[in-house]
Structure 1
Amino acid sequence: MPPLTFALNHMTAPALTLDAFFALAVSLGMTAVEIRNDLDGNAILDGTTPAEVTALAERHSVTIISINALQRFNEWTPARATEASELIDFASACGARALVLVPKNDGTGQADGERQANLREALAALKPLLDAAGIIGLVEPLGFEICSLRSKREAVEAIKAVGGERTFRLVHDTFHHHLAGEPELFADHTGLVHISGVEDPAVAISDMRDGHRVLVGPSDRLGNTTQIKALLAAGYAGPLSFEPFSPAVHDVADPRAAVAESVAFLLESL
Structure 2
Amino acid sequence: MKFALNYMTAPAMPVADFLDLALSLGIKAVEIRNDLADNAILDGTPATTIRRLTEERDIEIISINALQRFNAWSEARAREARSLLAYARDCGANALVLVPTNDGSGRENGVRQESLRLALTELKPLFEDAGITGLVEPLGFEICSLRSKREAVDAIESVGGNVFKLVHDTFHHHLAGESQIFPDHTGLVHISGVTDPDVSPAAMQDSHRTLVDALDRLGTIGQIGALRAAGYAGHLSFEPFARSVHTLTDPGAALRTSIDHIRATA
Q: What TM bracket, shorter-length normalisation?
A: over 0.9
| Residue pairs, 1:98-137, within 5 angstroms | 98-137=95-134
**SS of 1:141's equivalent?**
coil
User: How far, CA to CA, are the matches of 1:86 and 1:12 in structure 2?
Assistant: 25
Return the letter of the residue paired with 1:196: S
User: How far, CA to CA, are the matches of 2:122 and 2:90 in structure 1?
Assistant: 21
Give identity over the alignment, percent. 62
CA RMSD across the alignment: 0.5
The CA deviation at 1:61 is 1.2
Return the letter of the residue paired with 1:137: G
The CA deviation at 1:20 is 0.5
Question: 2:46: which partner in 1?
Answer: 49
Question: 1:260: which partner in 2?
Answer: 256
User: How far, CA to CA, are the matches of 1:172 and 1:242 in structure 2?
Assistant: 12
Q: 2:28 aligns with which of 31, 34, 45?
A: 31
Return the letter of the residue paired with 1:53: I
User: How far, CA to CA, are the matches of 2:128 and 2:86 in structure 1?
Assistant: 12
Runs of 4+ in 1 over 4 A off after TM superposition: none
The CA deviation at 1:128 is 0.3
The CA deviation at 1:60 is 1.4
Q: 1:213 aligns with which of 196, 209, 223?
A: 209
Question: 1:189: which partner in 2?
Answer: 185
Q: 1:46-77, CA deviations, whole angstroms, 9 ceiling, x for partnerless residues?
A: 11111101001011110000000000000001
Aligned: 1:149 with 2:146: yes
Question: 1:71: which partner in 2?
Answer: 68
Unaligned runs of 5+ in 1: none
**SS of 1:232's equivalent?**
helix
Aligned: 1:92 with 2:93: no
Q: 1:174 aligns with which of 170, 173, 179?
A: 170
Aligned: 1:204 with 2:200: yes
Return the letter of the residue paired with 1:215: L
Q: How many residues are aligned here?
A: 266
The CA deviation at 1:236 is 0.4
User: How far, CA to CA, are the matches of 1:81 and 1:37 in structure 2?
Assistant: 16
Q: 1:227 aligns with which of 197, 216, 223?
A: 223
TM-score normalized by structure 2?
0.99
TM-score normalized by structure 1?
0.98
Question: 2:136: which partner in 1?
Answer: 139
User: How far, CA to CA, are the matches of 1:51 and 1:250 in structure 2?
Assistant: 27
Question: 1:14: which partner in 2?
Answer: 11
User: How far, CA to CA, are the matches of 1:46 and 1:59 in structure 2?
Assistant: 21
Q: 1:88-129, CA deviations, whole angstroms, 9 ceiling, x for partnerless residues?
A: 010011100000000000000000000000000000010000
**SS of 1:191's equivalent?**
strand
**SS of 1:192's equivalent?**
strand
User: How far, CA to CA, are the matches of 1:89 and 1:161 in structure 2?
Assistant: 26
**SS of 2:49's equivalent?**
helix
Q: 1:25-46, CA deviations, whole angstroms, 9 ceiling, x for partnerless residues?
A: 0000000100000001100001
**SS of 1:169's equivalent?**
strand
User: How far, CA to CA, are the matches of 2:139 and 2:112 in structure 1?
Assistant: 14
**SS of 1:84's equivalent?**
helix
